[in-house]
Structure 1
């Protein structure tokens, strides 16, 4: 799943919904086109959300002391993209 699949589904859906004038018995090509457009947009949104969630990394470390007490430390780091080339 990725941006390519989302763009492909959206393009095919828009072609079916807006450009195809043929009729097939018991099949509404316009509705199938709009369904494909919605599926393509959903894939694009899910891909963007998923790739954005990979930017954070959380590390948790638990230390047990000699007296039996525990200390937990949690660190969250964000991946910094390099600045754009000029």
Structure 2
């Protein structure tokens, strides 16, 4: 139920509580109207609280990177202030050498 559902319950409850003067045996429409108003107010408050929490969340995007080449050990952490940090050094990549394949050698046919 959201904000619209809470408002709808408040409106329906107000109509039943203040606008309907008919009576049905064993059913008090005024009390049902008040109950609908209370449920609508509660639903409206809960919807607003949940929407406020949803807007305060932060989202992170994780990007995985794959590097090709040799693995280098990470340098030891240095005692620097967090505001001043040196930029990270680029990763040195080793070019890949193509593999030359020779065709399989078959013995010459015999019997000729």
Q: Which runs of 5+ in 2 are unaligned?
A: 60-112
Q: Distance in 1 between matches of 2:51 and 2:24?
A: 39
Q: Say what the alpha-carbon RMSD is for the aligned residues.
A: 1.3
Cα deviation per residue 1:13-34 (whole Å; 9 max; x = unaligned)? 0000001000000000000000
**Structure 1 residue 56: deviation in Å?**
2.2
- Corresponding residue for residue 12 of structure 2: 12
TM-score (norm 2): 0.50
- Between Structure 1 and Structure 2, the one with more helix by share is 1
- Indicate whether 1:55 and 2:64 are aligned: no
Structure 1 residues 2-41: aligned runs within 5 Å: 2-41=2-41
TM-score (norm 1): 0.65
**Structure 1 residue 57: deviation in Å?**
2.5
Moved over 3 A (4+): none
Q: Which runs of 5+ in 1 are unaligned?
A: 60-86
**Structure 1 residue 58: deviation in Å?**
5.7
